[in-house]
Structure 1
């Protein structure tokens, strides 16, 4: 397979399929169970430790947050009674909790319960939320419905942080009872409560009568089933064994559009997909980077050569039928604070320069590298295309398909050369950079440690002016590009296919399938 840079026949932007459709507000009846197919098995069902998008989709059914986003990407109160208030100096944030809330175990959600969860998110060893809440120095309940947070300095992203897993509130009684085993007995506030999990097969939720808005929950329950193969998901949608297929790939979407019994939901993504390169992860996730004696880690020229061997437009066309968007930075154009880095600014494929860089680095070719990918057919195709592309520059790329949760644990531990790395995205740009790019960030699996990147991340967190923040993240994006540690390749579209007898589903830019008010039309 040969790839020619700058092929004129390639589209430069993603093909729109079916138009943007985020909601379905048809009337529904009460009763019935909805079966939702996920493209992989979620990791831990513990909001403090979880890292996966599929896990967030399950949480959307059983673990609500202090804040959420609406169809337009605006942050709105969920478990909180209103948006937080901030002191004039930006160092004290106060929030009110909605009255009358109960966890799925029947215990009360009050300000003290919120404090318990926030402290756990910030302080628990191994927490994936630690970086997000590190600027918070103290958290206290000043009344039964009031929480006060003190900050080291102004922290602009905080409300957005609390609209994600760091804002999920867990039952203190369940945390005390189950401890480290909370992941097998999660208890939060949500339209549905956890019933059981059979690893690799299903997660079962049932309608929770304790839910504050139970009258608007129509389904008896929801079953989430991991089905990595999109063809199998589509076949099960056709047969009626499934009602919702999450994260459907372009090939399956094209097929679904011809099916009279199926409907498509489509929203632009806030996230990215790319390749992570191990440059210093020798001590594990969230630890300070160490010295790694590999050509990729030693010399940035090797990493740059690897990126220059990749043609993003061709990858998009060959694997995704041009339905995604080439990308080369962490922050989506959907963000209100988006740097001026457009797809046309991405590095163009340059095999001659890639070979020159490898020669200057003194690397003997072909250079053997292993790429870890998930086991989905789509990621397999991405790996195969990358394998063929980089071979022309002098890389011998072997592929190692790995079950997703296993791949996460292996990459977290630093047991990899390069891996397919993706993120579902957040509205505030800090949510797309700090966890991953900050030295010892809670999800920095790459071993990246750059004081200048750290400085820019810190600056972006404290500046409220949109124009100044945009300039900061523009500089940060270009600094990250020069490091060639996380090579951003494309932005997905959030494609969800459902049977037409189901309504009330919502699919926003964060990629979650919301089924709180879903139900059957007949």
Structure 2
């Protein structure tokens, strides 16, 4: 399917969210683990300041229709400024209320009713109502705004039924649209503030969250102060939150370990291990999806499934762990991490069969198609090391040649996920529930299905999982997705995802939601 130039621009913002995790890997209905469980409590105190380190700047600003919603990207900044309509608990897979009071389905999931708590106001004093939600969703759906959430909002028919009630009609039934709202459409800005200054809204955002942006020094820090008009009396506990940009993740962890910073967000298994050894408390989520090799199934040589299988069988998930990650990153066994609701113990994604890999390579060469391709990756040490491991494994086999192309994040996004001008690459996907991330990644009708993979059985299984609320039906559907992925190998997951907040036992009431974002109304310093 050819994608319009406008839509490609919108997809660029979506893809940009993934490159924020250059330092590591990438969910399922999984709980927290580690030194302190997500949501752990301790004696809190009122007041104080927290400095939280993030690896990247909010490149497109803090407009909800521009920013990246993932936790390692802009998610924490957005949650602090805007609060959440709804949020998803990765431990249970359930959607919880925030400013949104309830969201309920009718007509087999085609029509949803969203109710908002009374009395909530944006920090500019204007009402947070159904019209504000409608306004934000229509901005997401406008391709001219290049929203990363375009595919989640496209085709929605929105009707303000009452001042605090929004009726949402979907283009097709989705029994899990509440998850779409909680993950992709949860941040709502003030329509009045946006209308006054559309171009400047991303730099001067107005939300209804626990904090208000006071100062922003680009590529350095963002200072937020307690919102005195916050809708929850007595919250937040903190007086101030400062987000600092520290791209060097080793330096960031050292700052946390020595107490010069309060906390950092990370998605790196090795760094988590190092932090624990240095006495750092880690609030950790183990998720599905993860770090994967992605093949462009729409162009040679990987339009031939034998070529994809040959590469995968030449590799080893355990090898990645031991060689690239020094044994700190558990090897994946498919898209769904062990211990999560959709992991199928009977499934084992193929790998580490060099004899069969050689047979396939010889067969391709006999047909005049010896394997010769370029592997495109990020110009960061972990990503380069990953590519070099793949290259070293293929180098031991006949009829296989691989070159490594390294790109900076913006160029990488444009080449792979927008222009789709690649043969094989590396990609990171966080999944706390298959909806909506897996659907948009793999379904052939999805706007972000950029790998060129098309399979009717996968589409049917994803549709079934989207439309059903029966856990057994969903489990069977996603088991079928995994079986088809194991057979076709359009992607190969070698490391399931992790997301964490690391601190020196200084924080309490830490609650991580979605893919590792913090609920800032609860966060407090220990007494």
**Same-fold call, TM > 0.5?**
yes
Q: Report the counterpart of residue 25 of structure 2 in structure 1.
A: none
1:497 corresponds, among 490, 497, 502, to 502
1:275 corresponds, among 289, 293, 310, to 293
Aligned-partner Cα distance in 1 for 2:147–2:229: 28
* Structure 1 residue 479: Cα displacement: 2.2
1:218 corresponds, among 210, 233, 237, to 237
Q: Report the counterpart of residue 427 of structure 2 in structure 1.
A: 421
Aligned-partner Cα distance in 2 for 1:485–1:180: 40
* Structure 1 residue 70: Cα displacement: 3.7
Q: Report the counterpart of residue 95 of structure 2 in structure 1.
A: 75
Q: Is 1:47 matched up with 2:64? A: yes
1:115-514 paired onto structure 2 within 5 Å: 115-125=134-144, 126-134=146-154, 137-179=156-198, 182-213=201-232, 215-247=234-266, 249-260=268-279, 262-280=280-298, 292=299, 294-296=300-302, 298-333=303-338, 335-336=340-341, 338-340=342-344, 345-362=348-365, 367-373=372-378, 375=380, 377-393=381-397, 395-413=400-418, 414-427=420-433, 429-439=434-444, 441-508=446-513, 510-514=515-519
Q: Residues 443 and 36 (structure 1 numbering): CA distance in 2 closer, same or farther, change over 3 Å? A: farther
> Over residues 365-419 of structure 1, what are the superposed CA-to-partner deviations in whole Å (9 max), with x where a residue is unaligned?
57241321262x4434333333322333454444445444553344332243333
What is the RMSD of the two structures over their aligned residues, measured on CA atoms?
3.0
Q: Residues 144 and 458 (structure 1 numbering): CA distance in 2 closer, same or farther, change over 3 Å? A: same
The SS at the match of 1:446 is: coil
Q: Residues 95 and 354 (structure 1 numbering): CA distance in 2 closer, same or farther, change over 3 Å? A: same
The SS at the match of 1:216 is: coil
Aligned-partner Cα distance in 2 for 1:118–1:334: 35
* Structure 1 residue 163: Cα displacement: 0.8
The SS at the match of 1:382 is: helix
TM-score (norm 1): 0.83
Q: Residues 180 and 352 (structure 1 numbering): CA distance in 2 closer, same or farther, change over 3 Å? A: farther
Moved more, 215-224 or 198-207: 198-207
Gap runs ≥5 in structure 1? 1-15, 281-291
* Structure 1 residue 238: Cα displacement: 3.0
The SS at the match of 1:183 is: coil
Instruction: Count matched residues.
Output: 487
Aligned-partner Cα distance in 1 for 2:484–2:97: 35
> Over residues 122-169 of structure 1, what are the superposed CA-to-partner deviations in whole Å (9 max), with x where a residue is unaligned?
3434433233345x6421111111111223443111111111122322
Q: Residues 204 and 406 (structure 1 numbering): CA distance in 2 closer, same or farther, change over 3 Å? A: farther
Q: Residues 366 and 477 (structure 1 numbering): CA distance in 2 closer, same or farther, change over 3 Å? A: closer
Moved more, 100-109 or 391-400: 391-400
Q: Is 1:38 matched up with 2:24? A: no
Q: Tell whether the 8 Å contact from 1:129 to 1:442 is kept in structure 2 after alignment.
A: no
* Structure 1 residue 461: Cα displacement: 1.8
TM-score (norm 2): 0.82
Aligned-partner Cα distance in 2 for 1:220–1:406: 39
> Over residues 14-64 of structure 1, what are the superposed CA-to-partner deviations in whole Å (9 max), with x where a residue is unaligned?
xx9845621342233344332222234445334334444422232222233
Q: Report the counterpart of residue 29 of structure 1 in structure 2.
A: 45
